[in-house]
Amino acid sequence: MIVAMQEGAVEDQIQAVVERLTEMGFDVHKTTGARQTVLAAVGSRNDFDVRELEVMPGVEQVHRISAPYKLAGKSFRPEGTVVRFANGLAIGGEEIVVMAGPCSVESRDQLFRVTEQVAKAGAKVLRGGAFKPRTSPYSFQGLGEEGLKLLREAGNKFGMLVISEVMEISQIALMLPYIDIFQVGARNMQNFNLLRELGKVRKPVLLKRGIAATIEELLLSAEYIMSGGNYDVILCERGIRTFETYTRNTLDISAIPIVHKLSHLPMTADPSHGTGRRDKVAPMARAAIAAGADAVLVEVHHDPDHALSDGPQSLYPEQFEKLMHELRMIAPAVGRKMA
């Protein structure tokens, strides 16, 4: 951490800051310039709050140099994390994985129809919500355990892994036998109790970025899961809330290379929630792959006009097939191939 003192800071103020930093466990290196004194604090602590120093008399600016997360940071595993599954599929390696399926599991007929279509087009992971975080309590809330059973059955039938959203701690044990990846939704990115519990399970977790979360906050949430011993965390950019109204959210494509620089964890993009409009999904999925995403998560429905949730952003099966074809052309251009 670097503490720049104000031009007029007096010796007592400088000394007070040095003492505070020493108390916090830092070694302090002082540089006295012609106008200003700069203190460089070196140490392994990363649980400090820079504001504690910013509010001290005589302090002009404080800059944190090291990241506040350890396990999620690049230096923990510079070679990168590859999340591997028993069927040989891997997320974070050379191959790009497509996860697709309906927003919600609505019925056996719906799920099996969509699964057959996305599997045929080349998706490797079946998505579908059994527990739905809906903005309105009057909207469809999901089929619960019945939905999980259908997901497992459809996944097995069409040779796909299964991902579904977990909304609360009590659902973890219930979901374990049915799913291959736990999805933590945007609304729960900072549900720290849930994250801690997911740190205890030995199944991968796909952690979505919150609608108003910074990339640093996303990485700190990953740190919660990893600090419990579960290192199989996959991050996901799903759009953030901005002032733009043409889209439901603004898909922050730049988060993909940023996360790849800061972290060793695989990075995914969800262009469906990221845009909220069907016609914007394919262009943003293509952009995400071009930007280096390790996987994409796409909503597809056989009859989106009658979907119980997120119909307007769900692709028709033919659109998904076309997108897969396009992704197969883009992947080699960025040194990857499709799983």
Residue 280 binding target from Mn ion, ligand PEP, none, CB below 5 to 8 Å by type: none
Alpha carbon distance 329, 282 (integer Å): 13
The site string for ligand PEP over 170-199 (x = CB under 6 A, - otherwise) reads ---------------xxx------------
Residues contacting 332, CB < 8 A, separation 6+: none
Nearest in space to 146 (alpha carbons), one of 157, 138, 154, 136: 154
β partners of residue 250: 240
Alpha carbon distance 46, 26 (integer Å): 11
Nearer to ligand PEP, 73 or 129 (CB): 129
CB atoms within 10 A of CB 139: 13
Q: Which stretch binds Mn ion (CB under 5 A): 66-74, 100-108, 199-207, 254-262?
A: 100-108
Nearer to ligand PEP, 273 or 278 (CB): 273
Write out the binding residues for ligand PEP, residues 220-239 only, by CB under 6 A.
238
Separation in Å, CA 125 to CA 43, 159, 335? 43, 9, 22
- The size of the interface with Mn ion (CB under 5 A), counted in residues, is 2
Q: How far is the CB of 247 from ligand PEP (least distance, A)?
A: 14
- 103 contributes a contact to Mn ion by CB under 5 A: yes
Burial readout 157-179 (b: 16 or more C-beta within 10 A, e: otherwise) = ebebbbbbbbbeeebbeebeebb
DSSP 8-state class, residue 281? H
Give the helix/strand (H/E) hosting 151.
helix 145-158
Nearest in space to 228 (alpha carbons), one of 192, 177, 175: 192
Alpha carbon distance 203, 184 (integer Å): 13
Nearer to Mn ion, 266 or 274 (CB): 274
Nearer to ligand PEP, 208 or 278 (CB): 208
Residues contacting 225, CB < 8 A, separation 6+: 195, 196, 198, 199, 205, 207, 233
Among 124, 260, 264, 273, binds ligand PEP (CB under 6 A): 273
Among 129, 142, 271, 304, binds ligand PEP (CB under 6 A): 129
The site string for Mn ion over 294-313 (x = CB under 5 A, - otherwise) reads ----------------x---
Nearer to ligand PEP, 92 or 274 (CB): 274
- 248 contributes a contact to ligand PEP by CB under 6 A: no
Q: How far is the CB of 124 from ligand PEP (least distance, A)?
A: 17
Which residue number has the CB closest to Mn ion?
Answer: 103
Q: How far is the CB of 299 from ligand PEP (least distance, A)?
A: 7
The site string for ligand PEP over 54-93 (x = CB under 6 A, - otherwise) reads ----------------------------------------
- 103 contributes a contact to ligand PEP by CB under 6 A: yes
CA angle 272, 278, 284 (to 5 degrees): 55
Q: How far is the CB of 64 from ligand PEP (least distance, A)?
A: 29
DSSP 8-state class, residue 12? H
- 142 contributes a contact to ligand PEP by CB under 6 A: no
Q: How far is the CB of 321 from ligand PEP (least distance, A)?
A: 21
Using CB under 6 A, list all residues that contact ligand PEP.
103, 129, 133, 185-187, 208, 238, 270, 273
